[in-house]
Structure 1
Amino acid sequence: MTSDSFDSFDPLSFSTIPTPPEGFKSGFVGIVGRPNVGKSTLMNALVGQKVAITSPTAQTTRNRLRGILSNDQAQIIFVDTPGIHKPHHELGKILVKNARMAIDAVDATLFVVDGSVAAGRGDEFVASLLAPSAVPVILGLNKIDQQPAEEAEAIDASYQAMADTHGWPLVKFSALHEQQLDTLLQTLIDRLDPGPYYYPPDLVTDQPERFIMGELIREQILLHTREEVPHSVAIAIDRVEEDATITRILATIHVERDSQKGILIGKRGSMLKTIGSEARQQIQKLVMGQVYLELFVKVVPKWRQSRSRLEDFGYRVEE
């Protein structure tokens, strides 16, 4: 397969969309909440495969990413959104605006909160955005495995009060350890209307492979660097060539300052080698074959403040 044919690959052309059985339900479910509450980890767990990157760093998700779950009862298209926060640059404004737009473009909303701490002002702010919504809202209390035993009752009560105020059902679970996800899933299905398959049932995401490749590279940068570096990074997949034995990928990591470039490259290239090696292992799982990955680092000053640069890197207000 050539690079051009790889770019134009359409997964739908290789699969068929079946006729659903009687009583089958389907719909789009937006996953919203503050940064770092476990939204991407939850979507991966529900879909049963890694389609969104995860990291201890807040604001990991930048694009509205769709994960697709199909079973005998329903097909749910989960829309993982960027964490809703106070933006400090043009990129942040776009991310938050896209997350807010997702609230009005789905059939149900799963509002995920960090159940290891009591409800705070950030949660109340997200709740105020969801309150006028015409679609069902489920309050998802994640990270119950991390609740301090002596504080668990008070933490639960703070979120139960929020749920009662708005008339939302409250479901407790742990996305990381996949605890009580069956209850959450059934709660979501119960609130969807009868509908068709939107995608072939064997598909887990509608994102192109190039996008996922870039995200897997960015994930390793999030895991291995600190301070301002992770949020100043944009990945461009410059070339993908695939033959019978190996997939060759050329990618550029864009940063805003020379100091960030130095951190990413590391002493004698050690950091870039580590990032490349671990990203390659993840991409091999995606393409189910051997991968050769070559990374370059380029400085593009203040790219997060430039609308044109943001669009070049794929960040724009979504319709």
Structure 2
Amino acid sequence: MSDTPDFPDFPDETDLPSDAVAAPAIDFSAPEGFRSGFVSFVGRPNTGKSTLTNALVGEKIAITADQPETTRHPIRGIVHRPESQIIVVDTPGLHRPRTLLGERLNEVVKETYADVDVIGLCIPADEKIGPGDRWILDAVRKAAPKTPVVGIVTKLDKASKDQVGAQLMALHDLLDGGEVIPVSATGEVQLDVLLDVVSGLLPEGPKLYPDDHVTDDDRDTRMSELIREAALSGLHDELPHSVAVQIDEVLPSEDREGVLDVHAVIFLEREGQKRILRGKDNRRWGRIIHNSRQSLMDLLGQNVYLDLRMKVAKNWQSDPKQLGRLGF
């Protein structure tokens, strides 16, 4: 009996039918000296990380809101340059968790630190450096001791020149003399400078994504995030942490040509929170549906009918089973 294992016979190219079409090859070639890799923006919640990510990528891939802890999963955006390809990873803000969801988000962020080539510590120009910033930097250095950290002073448009100057010096000292770059994402100030610095810290290597890619998030994830953004608008601190969105179904409309039917659910933690989302005379709810539909049409490039409902998943932020169903 032979010791050689039996392998199935795979067809040779000559055995393929004449009408078989090979999958097109993706060209990941890059010029000599090309650099590619990952940079993660970290910082306290609401320090402008998502706005900066969108500005660098040149397209909205991360939702933004006035409330902290808006970002709930790492979002990768691809910046294509002649000499480099930079994958920007926007992470949830690192914070002292109050729920199981918060603990899981923190773990995701810390895991991200260990997998990137550069870390950008974001500090707003109009807020003094505090214990939270030092705690985050300490966590970064423990999780990725060899990864270079670049200081980024964000929101230049919200501070005076004196404030910006003082913040640059303070962040420079916090990083023990490390490089610090002031930027304004909304004003597109110094974005190329930031990209030049990051590119120089990346390893040499091939392109990691095709030239037409801007993110690796799937369609349904981007859709659910856009709906959540619309739901958060104008809520302030009333219930933003309690809102989660799930896409149930996306189908071509049976009776409206060229229309896509999107069925989605907004999950809340308590029955009384439905009244907050509805608002007076259902006006807020109507606005949420209208704004969500507009965002979905911009994303998908076609007309959309949105069937949006509310459901209660009691205390889902602290329930392991509910978190699992919602993708956390």
Per the normalisation by structure 2, the TM-score is 0.88
Separation of aligned partners in 1, 2:87 and 2:298? 22
Question: What is aligned with 1:186?
Answer: 196
The answer for unaligned runs of 5 or more in structure 2 is: 1-22
One of 39, 58, 78 as aligned partner of 1:48: 58
Deviates more, 1:109-118 or 1:54-63: 109-118
Separation of aligned partners in 2, 1:219 and 1:89? 21
Structure 2 contact 168–180 (Cα < 8 Å) conserved: no
* Per-residue CA distance 1:206-226 (angstroms, 9 max, x = gap): 011100000000001111323
One of 128, 146, 160 as aligned partner of 1:148: 160
Question: What is aligned with 1:266?
Answer: 279
The answer for unaligned runs of 5 or more in structure 1 is: 1-12
Question: What is aligned with 1:115?
Answer: 125
One of 60, 65, 69 as aligned partner of 1:59: 69
Structure 2 contact 38–116 (Cα < 8 Å) conserved: yes
Separation of aligned partners in 2, 1:253 and 1:303? 12
Structure 1 contact 224–275 (Cα < 8 Å) conserved: no
Deviation at 1:264, TM superposition (A): 1.2
Question: What is aligned with 2:225?
Answer: 215
One of 311, 318, 321 as aligned partner of 1:298: 311
One of 245, 255, 259 as aligned partner of 2:268: 255
Partner secondary structure for residue 247 of structure 2? strand
Separation of aligned partners in 2, 1:231 and 1:124? 25
1:103 maps to a residue whose letter is Y
Question: What is aligned with 1:134?
Answer: 146
Q: 1:57 to 1:171 in 2, by over 3 A?
A: same
* Per-residue CA distance 1:257-281 (angstroms, 9 max, x = gap): 1111111123443222110100111
Partner secondary structure for residue 197 of structure 1? coil
Q: How does 1:152-163 map to 2 (within 5 A)?
A: 152-163=164-175
Structure 1 contact 17–198 (Cα < 8 Å) conserved: no
Separation of aligned partners in 1, 2:30 and 2:222? 29
Q: Are 2:321 and 1:308 equivalent residues in the alignment?
A: yes
* Per-residue CA distance 1:194-252 (angstroms, 9 max, x = gap): 11111111100001110000000000111132323211011010010136612110000
Separation of aligned partners in 2, 1:158 and 1:117? 11
Partner secondary structure for residue 233 of structure 2? helix
Q: Which has the larger radius of gyration?
A: 2
Q: 1:153 to 1:71 in 2, by over 3 A?
A: closer
Q: Which has the higher contact order (CA 8 A, sep 6+)?
A: 1
One of 60, 73, 94 as aligned partner of 1:84: 94
Q: Are 2:116 and 1:103 equivalent residues in the alignment?
A: no
Structure 2 contact 28–208 (Cα < 8 Å) conserved: no
Question: What is aligned with 2:241?
Answer: 231
Deviation at 1:153, TM superposition (A): 3.3
Separation of aligned partners in 2, 1:226 and 1:147? 22
Deviates more, 1:154-163 or 1:191-200: 154-163
The size of the alignment, in residue pairs, is 301
Deviates more, 1:266-275 or 1:183-192: 266-275
Per the normalisation by structure 1, the TM-score is 0.90
Deviation at 1:28, TM superposition (A): 1.1
Q: Are 2:29 and 1:16 equivalent residues in the alignment?
A: no
